[in-house]
Amino acid sequence: MTIRELINLGVLKLNSCNIKNSKNEARLLMCHILKFTYSDLFLKMENNIDEDYIKNYLSLISKRCEGVPLQHNKNTRIYGTKIESE
């Protein structure tokens, strides 16, 4: 599976949970999982992704669907600011 395909799957799942701005959130979560910048993500969209990353990504997508705010994913950086959950 490519990074693009996994992001598209994430977008579909987030849309089904009525998450607004699902495309951007799916991309931000992927950047977090892969430790990519937003620019890196677009340059590497067609790269295949390892199964461990797939599981971690889908876990974050599921948490987001459960209502966990994007910023509350442990050690997530949003706009350069590190935000840690309890």
Q: What are the boundaries of each domain within the chain?
A: 3-83
Contact (Cβ atoms closer than 8 angstroms) between residue 75 and residue 60 = no
Please tell me the predicted confidence (pLDDT) of residue 75.
Answer: 57
> Which residues does residue 83 pair with via DSSP β-bridges, in sequence order?
76
- DSSP 3-state of 48: strand
In this predicted model, what pLDDT tens digit does every residue of 27-75 receive, in sequence order? 999 998 999 998 999 999 999 999 999 999 999 999 999 988 887 665 5
Q: Is 80 exposed, middle or buried (0-12, 13-18, 19+ CB in 10 A)?
A: exposed
Predicted TM-score of the model (pTM): 0.82
Domain 3-83, CATH 1.10.8.10 — does that match? yes
Report the amino acid identity of residue 56.
N
Please tell me the predicted confidence (pLDDT) of residue 86.
Answer: 42
Contact (Cβ atoms closer than 8 angstroms) between residue 54 and residue 9 = no
